[in-house]
Structure 1
């Protein structure tokens, strides 16, 4: 890779590691480097970004932990082959990449889930509706620890009922995001009834084959889940 293939503007913010990580991600996603290719050296990044070597190493460490790059001792740092879902493996990236990134993720999930539930209400069979009810009942009786997987199973069943391979594939790719999202929201919760009620309203609309009602119920659920997630994230940020 030639050194003249990348350019950066100097960083002036105090939070160097966060800003460096964001800048490196922007560089990666710009298409300037392809999976399997070598990233600029620490010295090249240091000169281009006008920051210390230790800050560069910390940012590289973050990307390595997140599974985006591979550090080969004595050889250099390489961009890993990335699948469509890797960016969403941890909702905690919202803290790392900033509030705008978190809001984008929330908006995207809402659009996906509302579209899925509309098709599920239109296309779901009676047998599938019974299966959805079974999952819902398990949700009601679950512990907080069990809640996460059952919650994800409920949304996955809706994706299957939608009978759209693209939506199902998208949903499968964001399972990690859902798990982390739900874990964060439910971490300190002792009563899960509020979430059960949201899922019950979704089920009732789907069971009546009411697409509009299902979409409204899902929107309400997404709005509530998003609000709770933002509250958790804001608390985390204040606690730093």
Structure 2
């Protein structure tokens, strides 16, 4: 994950946990960058991104504040996704994921070990309905990476991992706006793991296709 994306998730986590409340002021730049373990330039990029989607309000000569986070204010941020991907490039990325990840799931199912199934189920056990969006996205990245690596093809795993980074913002937005996003993701991930445990390559491929297609369809409608 890019340093800027990591900073965005950490700031969001501070807001979601209540450490930063609506209307609250962020710590000074130097203090916050040291706390997050990133450079001040990376922090500035993260702040700019969150300012665009109306999460932060930068007041020149005063400081940076969390906005009111009112729904109508945050809904204006849909233009952020459109501005970033006005050429539908993110949809094209998901289309490629829809081709590659089912193939990886099928390959992984053919060679699935008890250790892989146990590790994936342990990962799923960490997910709970009250999990914040940042935690959900991190889980999603780990889950898909584990399956692609289990397929046993380093080039395929690298391609899939490379496609994950550019779609992080879309996954965050889905987590924030789609009802029951955590429960939906957890159910779909569990069915995929069950197929892997049975070494059912065809079912694993089909379930992964449905999983990726669901995100792609949501994004298509959002755009």
In the superposition, the TM-score normalised over structure 1's length comes to 0.54
Please point out which of 89, 93, 112 is paired with 1:124.
112
**Aligned residue pairs: how many?**
143
1:212 aligns with 2:209: no
In the superposition, the TM-score normalised over structure 2's length comes to 0.58
Q: 1:130 and 1:215 mapped to 2: Cα distance?
A: 20
Contact 2:105–2:205 (Cα < 8 Å) also in 1 = yes
Give the 4+ runs in structure 1 shifted more than 6 A: none
Please point out which of 208, 212, 222 is paired with 1:222.
212
1:146 aligns with 2:135: yes
In the alignment, which residue of structure 2 is the partner of 1:199?
189
**1:174 match: secondary structure:** helix
Please point out which of 228, 231, 234 is paired with 2:221.
231
1:136 aligns with 2:145: no
> Where in structure 1 are there 5+ consecutive unaligned residues?
1-64, 66-90, 235-240
Contact 1:149–1:179 (Cα < 8 Å) also in 2 = no
Higher Rg of the two aligned structures: 1
Q: 2:108 and 2:161 mapped to 1: Cα distance?
A: 16
Q: CA deviation at 1:112?
A: 1.2
Q: CA deviation at 1:165?
A: 0.7
> Where in structure 2 are there 5+ consecutive unaligned residues?
1-47, 49-79
Q: 1:98 and 1:178 mapped to 2: Cα distance?
A: 14
Please point out which of 137, 140, 144 is paired with 1:155.
144
User: Superposed, which structure 2 residues align to 1:171-182 within 5 Å?
Assistant: 171-182=160-171
In the alignment, which residue of structure 2 is the partner of 1:164?
153
Q: 1:96 and 1:217 mapped to 2: Cα distance?
A: 27
Contact 1:184–1:229 (Cα < 8 Å) also in 2 = no
Q: Which moved more, 1:210-219 or 1:180-189?
A: 180-189
1:105 aligns with 2:93: yes
Contact 1:118–1:212 (Cα < 8 Å) also in 2 = yes
The Cα RMSD (Å) is 2.3
**1:223 match: secondary structure:** helix
Q: CA deviation at 1:152?
A: 0.7
Contact 1:110–1:222 (Cα < 8 Å) also in 2 = yes
